[in-house]
């Protein structure tokens, strides 16, 4: 092998510099919180994304070799397998590996960026783009240290795909046919939802081949191998098909069109377009209500309406997330247009930009895709500006100054972006303790935000989580948390047993091509009702419940107070017609001040201690109860209840240890969450205490 060329050495140097820069900036969060005890468990900082616990659960079960049927542990996911592999070969704790994996893997984004720039004979543009893209707001937010999720490679892999496509089109070398197909195979293995982007790349190459280079047989070889790699089949089937197609197309040019036609037929025969349509419906054509297509056609509230990352965002936020600043974003767009004019091959980056721009309707999570390609735009403008400098020294000073200018807002964002861990250590200690109390087949009920960490730390089952949170499964959990404990307890037993029943019968129903209805619909029918409202009303009376097959626990963290109105929304709906009911009264205030006998709770809410009335805007109403809770010096829970007006509907709760006032109507006051978590008031025939702490409480269902 000959000596490395000067260009290759410079390429490697730039890759190393950009890679280390990306890692160094991601370590800022670590040093900000490295000694902060509430974020540390098992001698290491915890991760800061809920979804990370999903893959951590899978890796944990792979390493232990233990997982029970229907526990939803992702032991077959790429992220879990890669994590388990690293945990096997590296001399670090499991907690350290999941904390630092995003730092290293996401920083690989600099490699394809600089290699693409090498192809365009502009390495300076490459390192500038790599520096910016590696820490731009959106990319950093979803790949920072502790953000252990598929995003740590979700942009790296399509950027490698873009690199291989550019080199394939530019060189027409056979090796890039195979590299491109293998890129798709790896990308799909890592992120099964990669369909849409792969299809967009395919369509753009097809357009290029038909319009600009129709007679070049190489383009059709590329399309055929890409299509075989994109089939909606298992990777172990697609891989040999790709190898076979590569061998035949390389040896027999006359069969290229036949191979391409066969790949297209197989693509549609394997249902290749279906996943793309599902994603479009989920994020772009999303509705507030989801209606069943068969059976009782119940109406459920869609979770997409409550997820911030799936909502519309203002232009300034959109621009900041992609480039760090509106000015940089505009320069990036203009620069990319100019770059594409000078190097038309860069138009193959449009699918990534297009997917990033879907953020304007699909939510901020998509902005991450546009980051690396648009970084080329502003980087190209910088190198073009430097080119007009009269001396080499001025050229480099110009590039350095302008590069620092575009990096500064992003670096400032990183320094200020002090996101917390998913749970603090006291909450995790509760779950860790519960692991030694509950069996692996038992269920722990809480809101879906906490599903993955509950499963990871307590090694139990959950009804809903970050991936299983459609309206039909959210409804019963919302109903349990926001209704009186007498009916909530029955719903808890019903939902758990019907969930297990569905697991057992699901495969049989799939084999017979039968529709699998929601638990609520099955309960309604099997208890002899035609109207779900009647069934829910019947929970207030005595009823025969399914035989108990396992224990059920409620995990009630204090932090759920912040999302209680959202939790209640999912069951505050008439399932028969989709009409939303009147929102129960729930108001929490930590910013209040007292003047004589009036406590101003903010937003026009005034509590008169003397007359025991509350003013809500223009309405003045009597208060039924005033409750004050606290923890004494020995951390024993205390409460004092003063009944003022038995016929009133408004209650005031002052949680003195948390410096929080709650204004609640009677329905909310009597809800399971408020009674068990806030007031520690419960029916000992239905529940028993398991773990009670100021930040989280666990109760066991007795029926």
- Residue 675 tokens read as 């009674």
Q: Does the residue 625 lie in any domain?
A: yes
- pLDDT, mean of residues 374-378: 98
- Residue 461 tokens read as 């089952």
Distance in angstroms (rounded) separating the CA atoms of residues 613 and 607: 6
Whether residues 179 and 300 fall in one domain: yes
Residue ending a domain, among 528, 545, 561, is 561
Sort strands 593-595 and 586-589 into parallel, antiparallel or unpaired. Answer: unpaired
Question: If DSSP codes are grouped into helix, strand and coil, which group holds residue 653?
Answer: strand
Nearest to 309 by CA among 443, 519, 149: 149
- pLDDT, mean of residues 175-180: 95
- pLDDT, mean of residues 409-421: 97
Nearest to 114 by CA among 129, 99, 98: 129
- Token pair 């873009």 is found at 162
Q: Does the residue 37 lie in any domain?
A: yes
Query: What pLDDT band is residue 672 in, cutting at 50, 70 and 90?
Result: very high
Instruction: Give residue 1's pLDDT.
Output: 47
Q: Does the residue 568 lie in any domain?
A: no
Instruction: Give residue 504's pLDDT.
Output: 81
CA 45 to each of CA 51, 53, 479, 507, 629: distance values in angstroms, whole numbers, following the listed order: 16, 14, 35, 41, 32
Instruction: Give residue 364's pLDDT.
Output: 78
Number of neighbours of residue 448 by Cβ within 10 angstroms: 23
Instruction: Give residue 283's pLDDT.
Output: 52
Whether residues 629 and 655 fall in one domain: yes
- Number of residues in the chain: 703
Question: Rounded to the nearest 5°, which phi and psi values hold at 542?
Answer: -65, 140
Distance of CA 359 to the CA centre of its chain: 15
Distance in angstroms (rounded) separating the CA atoms of residues 445 and 463: 7
CA 5 to each of CA 1, 8, 9, 175, 356: distance values in angstroms, whole numbers, following the listed order: 12, 5, 6, 21, 36
Nearest to 494 by CA among 554, 538, 548, 531: 548
Residues 589-628 pLDDT 10s: 999 999 999 999 999 999 999 999 999 988 999 999 999 9
pLDDT at 404 exceeding the cut of 80: yes
Residues 281-323 pLDDT 10s: 555 555 555 555 567 889 999 876 566 555 567 899 999 999 9
Nearest to 425 by CA among 43, 87, 115: 43
Instruction: Give residue 225's pLDDT.
Output: 94
DSSP 30-87: HHHHTT-GGGEETTEEPPS-TTHHHHHHHHHHHHHT---TT----TTSHHHHHHHHHH
DSSP 532-596: HHHHHHHTTS--PPPPP-S-EEEEEEGGGGGGHHHHHHTTSB-TTT-PBPPPPPEEEES--EEET
Q: What percent of the chain has pLDDT over 90?
A: 83
Distance in angstroms (rounded) separating the CA atoms of residues 102 and 487: 44
Whether residues 537 and 639 fall in one domain: no
Whether residues 411 and 446 fall in one domain: no
Question: If DSSP codes are grouped into helix, strand and coil, which group holds residue 396?
Answer: helix
Residue ending a domain, among 396, 416, 436, is 416
Higher-scoring residue by pLDDT: 625, 273? 625
| Residues linked to residue 335 through DSSP beta bridges, in sequence order | none
Distance in angstroms (rounded) separating the CA atoms of residues 690 and 553: 9
**Least confident piece of the model among 191-205, 314-328, 351-365, 439-453:** 351-365
Residue-number span of the structural domain to which 78 is assigned:
6-416
Residue ending a domain, among 416, 439, 460, is 416
Q: Does the residue 264 lie in any domain?
A: yes
Whether residues 94 and 141 fall in one domain: yes
Whether residues 509 and 628 fall in one domain: no
| Residues linked to residue 299 through DSSP beta bridges, in sequence order | 291
Residues 464-506 pLDDT 10s: 999 999 999 999 999 999 999 999 999 999 999 999 998 887 7
CA 632 to each of CA 132, 190, 654: distance values in angstroms, whole numbers, following the listed order: 52, 51, 15
Whether residues 358 and 500 fall in one domain: no
Yes or no: say if 252 and 221 are a contact pair by the CB < 8 Å rule: no
- Residue 628 tokens read as 């004050």
Yes or no: say if 311 and 363 are a contact pair by the CB < 8 Å rule: yes
Question: If DSSP codes are grouped into helix, strand and coil, which group holds residue 628?
Answer: strand
- pLDDT, mean of residues 237-241: 93
Q: What percent of the chain has pLDDT over 70?
A: 93
pLDDT at 256 exceeding the cut of 80: yes
If phi > 0 it is left, if psi is from -120 to 50 it is alpha, else beta; for residue 584 that is beta
Residues 188-211 pLDDT 10s: 999 998 988 999 999 999 999 999
Q: Does the residue 1 lie in any domain?
A: no
Q: Does the residue 574 lie in any domain?
A: no
| Residue 546's CATH number | 3.40.1380.40
Instruction: Give residue 251's pLDDT.
Output: 81
User: Within 13 Å and on the Cβ side, how many CA atoms surround 376?
Assistant: 31
- Residue 41 tokens read as 């468990």
Distance in angstroms (rounded) separating the CA atoms of residues 459 and 394: 61
User: Within 13 Å and on the Cβ side, how many CA atoms surround 409?
Assistant: 18
Whether residues 78 and 21 fall in one domain: yes
The set of residues, in sequence order, having a beta carbon less than 8 Å from that of 338 and lying 6+ positions away, is 377, 380, 381, 384
Instruction: Give residue 513's pLDDT.
Output: 58
Cβ-count burial 469-500 (b if 16+ within 10 Å, e if not): bbbbbbbbbbbbbbbbbebbbbbbbbbbbbbb
Number of domains comprising the chain: 3
User: Within 13 Å and on the Cβ side, how many CA atoms surround 678?
Assistant: 32
- pLDDT, mean of residues 521-526: 95
Query: What pLDDT band is residue 428 in, cutting at 50, 70 and 90?
Result: very high
pLDDT at 363 exceeding the cut of 90: no
Whether residues 43 and 67 fall in one domain: yes
- pLDDT, mean of residues 642-651: 95
Whether residues 196 and 280 fall in one domain: yes
DSSP 518-544: -HHHHHHHHTT-S-HHHHHHHTTS--P
Distance in angstroms (rounded) separating the CA atoms of residues 552 and 367: 40
Instruction: Give residue 306's pLDDT.
Output: 62
Yes or no: say if 222 and 172 are a contact pair by the CB < 8 Å rule: no
Whether residues 555 and 592 fall in one domain: no
Whether residues 451 and 399 fall in one domain: no
- Residue 592 tokens read as 């209040």
Q: Does the residue 571 lie in any domain?
A: no
Query: What pLDDT band is residue 378 in, cutting at 50, 70 and 90?
Result: very high
- Helices 156-171 and 217-230: angle between axes, nearest 10 degrees: 160
- pLDDT, mean of residues 353-365: 80
Question: If DSSP codes are grouped into helix, strand and coil, which group holds residue 347?
Answer: helix
Q: Does the residue 597 lie in any domain?
A: yes
Yes or no: say if 658 and 558 are a contact pair by the CB < 8 Å rule: yes
- Residue 699 tokens read as 């109760």
């Amino acid at each position: 092998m000959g000596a490395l060329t000067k260009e290759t050495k410079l390429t490697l140097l730039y890759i190393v510099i950009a890679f280390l820069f990306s890692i160094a900036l991601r370590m800022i969060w670590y040093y900000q919180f490295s000694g902060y005890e509430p974020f540390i468990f098992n001698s290491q900082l915890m991760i800061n994304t809920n979804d990370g616990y999903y893959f951590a659960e899978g890796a944990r079960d792979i390493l232990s070799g233990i997982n029970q049927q229907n526990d939803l542990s992702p032991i077959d996911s790429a992220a879990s397998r890669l994590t388990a592999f690293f945990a096997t070969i590296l001399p670090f704790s499991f907690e350290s590996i999941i904390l630092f994996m995003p730092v290293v893997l996401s920083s690989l984004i600099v490699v394809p960026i600089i290699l693409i720039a090498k192809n365009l004979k502009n390495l300076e543009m490459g390192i500038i783009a790599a520096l910016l893209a590696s820490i731009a707001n959106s990319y950093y937010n979803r790949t920072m240290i502790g953000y252990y999720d598929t995003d740590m490679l979700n942009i790296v892999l399509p950027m490698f795909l873009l690199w291989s496509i550019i080199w394939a089109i530019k060189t027409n070398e056979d090796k890039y046919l195979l590299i491109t197909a293998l890129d798709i195979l790896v990308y799909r293995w890592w992120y099964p939802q990669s369909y849409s982007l792969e299809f967009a790349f395919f369509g753009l190459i097809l357009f290029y081949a038909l319009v600009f280079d129709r007679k070049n047989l190489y383009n059709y070889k590329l399309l055929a191998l890409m299509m075989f790699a994109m089939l909606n089949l298992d990777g172990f089937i697609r891989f040999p098909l790709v190898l076979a197609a590569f061998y035949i197309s390389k040896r027999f040019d006359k069969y290229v069109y036949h191979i391409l036609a066969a790949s297209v037929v197989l693509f549609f025969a394997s249902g290749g377009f279906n996943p793309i349509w599902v994603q479009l419906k989920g994020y772009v054509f999303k509705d507030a209500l989801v209606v069943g297509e068969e059976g009782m056609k119940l109406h459920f509230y869609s979770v997409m309406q409550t997820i911030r990352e799936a909502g519309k965002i203002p232009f300034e936020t959109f621009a900041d997330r992609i480039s760090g600043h509106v000015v940089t974003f505009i320069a990036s767009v203009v620069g990319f247009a100019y770059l594409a004019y000078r190097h038309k091959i860069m138009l193959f980056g449009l699918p990534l930009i297009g997917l990033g721009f879907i953020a304007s309707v699909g939510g901020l999570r998509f902005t991450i895709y546009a980051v690396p390609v648009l970084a080329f735009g502003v980087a190209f403008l910088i190198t073009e500006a430097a080119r007009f400098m009269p001396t080499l020294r001025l050229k480099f000073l110009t590039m350095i100054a302008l590069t620092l200018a575009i990096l500064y807002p992003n670096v400032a964002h990183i320094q200020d972006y002090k996101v917390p861990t998913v749970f603090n250590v006291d909450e995790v200690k509760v779950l860790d303790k519960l692991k030694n109390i509950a069996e692996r087949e038992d269920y722990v009920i809480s809101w879906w935000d906490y599903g993955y960490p509950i499963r990871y730390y307590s090694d139990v089952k959950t009804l809903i989580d970050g991936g299983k949170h459609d309206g039909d499964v959210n409804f019963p959990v919302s109903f349990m948390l926001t209704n009186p404990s007498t009916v909530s307890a029955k719903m808890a037993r019903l939902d758990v047993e019907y969930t297990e029943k569905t697991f057992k019968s699901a495969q049989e129903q799939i084999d017979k091509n039968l529709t699998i209805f929601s638990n609520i619909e099955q309960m309604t029918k099997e208890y002899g009702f035609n109207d779900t409202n009647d069934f829910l009303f019947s929970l207030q009376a005595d009823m025969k419940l399914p035989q108990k097959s396992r224990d059920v626990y409620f995990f009630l963290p204090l932090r759920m107070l912040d999302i209680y109105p959202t939790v209640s929304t999912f069951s505050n709906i008439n399932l028969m017609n989709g009409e939303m009911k009147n929102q129960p009264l729930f108001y929490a205030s930590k910013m209040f001040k007292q003047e004589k006998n009036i406590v101003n709770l903010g937003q026009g809410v005034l509590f008169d201690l003397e007359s025991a009335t509350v003013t809500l805007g223009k309405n003045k109403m009597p208060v039924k109860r005033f409750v004050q809770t606290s923890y004494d010096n020995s951390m024993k829970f205390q409460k004092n209840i003063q009944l003022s007006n038995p016929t009133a509907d408004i209650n005031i709760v002052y949680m003195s240890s948390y410096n929080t006032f709650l204004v609640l109507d009677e329905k909310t006051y009597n809800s399971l969450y408020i009674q068990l978590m806030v007031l520690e008031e419960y029916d000992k025939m239905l529940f028993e205490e398991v773990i009670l702490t100021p930040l989280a409480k666990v109760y066991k269902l007795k029926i």
